[in-house]
């Protein structure tokens, strides 16, 4: 899984470089805030999360549920999703403007690309009236962009366990 994390890092660095080049100044990985936002722009009361589509359970082609240890991943990533929502609500309630940049906005076949996404993120940062936006493979959208819960998309881990795994074996 280290390789997955490694791939996430490059687009984030490119996004940071572009924003810096446009004159934006930010603080990185602010632990004092819920969820440790990746980029924080205090003067603009804005922050940016860069989410890996696998770890945060995005509903996009970059998320593929592993066949092995299915219940483990459903549970782990399901928890990540719940945590994301909690952090988002806490930050939003405290008056922060929140931009969520999904990995698929910058990487993958359908991606708008780092340059286009960076430009859209810059627009969001400048527009102090914009409270929350998200950036993904299909472009930029208003709202929080929380993906549907994994349990709704793939069934809950406990239901799968009640089948004793026999279904999996027969399907092979």
Binding site for Zn ion (CB under 5 A): 53, 58, 60, 62, 102, 104
CB of 161 to Zn ion, least distance (A): 27
Question: Smallest distance from the beta carbon of 6 to Zn ion, in angstroms?
Answer: 17
Q: Minimal distance in Å, beta carbon 54 to Zn ion?
A: 9
Return all residues near 129 (Cβ < 8 A) that are at least 6 apart: none
Angle made by CA atoms 127, 100, 124, in degrees to the nearest 5:
10
Q: Which is nearer to Zn ion, 16 or 58 (CB)?
A: 58
User: What's the closest the beta carbon of residue 124 comes to Zn ion, in angstroms?
Assistant: 18
Closest to Zn ion by CB, 24 vs 103, is: 103
Rank residues 24 and 48 by Cβ distance to Zn ion and give the closer one: 48
Let me know: does 7 contact 55? Beta carbons within 8 Å.
Answer: no
Q: Edge-to-edge, what's the strand order for the sheet holding 46-51?
A: 27-28, 39-41, 46-51, 97-102, 132-136, 139-142
Would you say 15 or 24 has its CB closer to Zn ion? 15
Q: Minimal CA–CA distance to 134: which of 92, 79, 93, 78?
A: 92
Query: Shortest approach of Zn ion to residue 68 CB, angstroms?
Result: 22
Q: Quick one: 16 or 136, whose CB is closer to Zn ion?
A: 136
Going from the C-alpha of 63 to that of each of 39, 59, 112, 138, the distances in angstroms are 24, 7, 17, 15
């Amino acid at each position: 899984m280290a390789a997955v994390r490694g791939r996430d890092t490059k687009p984030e660095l490119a996004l940071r470089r572009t924003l810096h080049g446009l004159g934006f100044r930010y603080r990185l990985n602010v632990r004092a805030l819920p969820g440790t936002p990746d980029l924080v722009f205090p003067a603009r009361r804005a922050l940016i999360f860069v989410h890996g589509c696998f770890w945060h359970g995005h509903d996009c082609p970059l998320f593929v549920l592993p066949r092995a240890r299915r219940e483990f991943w459903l549970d782990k990533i399901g928890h990540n999703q719940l945590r994301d929502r909690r952090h988002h609500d806490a930050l939003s309630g405290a008056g922060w403007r929140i931009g969520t940049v999904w990995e698929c906005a910058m990487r993958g076949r359908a991606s708008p690309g780092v340059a286009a996404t960076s430009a859209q993120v810059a627009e969001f940062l400048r527009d102090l009236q914009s409270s929350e936006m998200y950036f993904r493979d299909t472009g930029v959208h208003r709202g929080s962009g929380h993906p549907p819960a994994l349990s709704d998309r793939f069934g809950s881990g406990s239901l799968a366990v009640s089948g004793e795994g026999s279904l999996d074996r027969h399907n092979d």
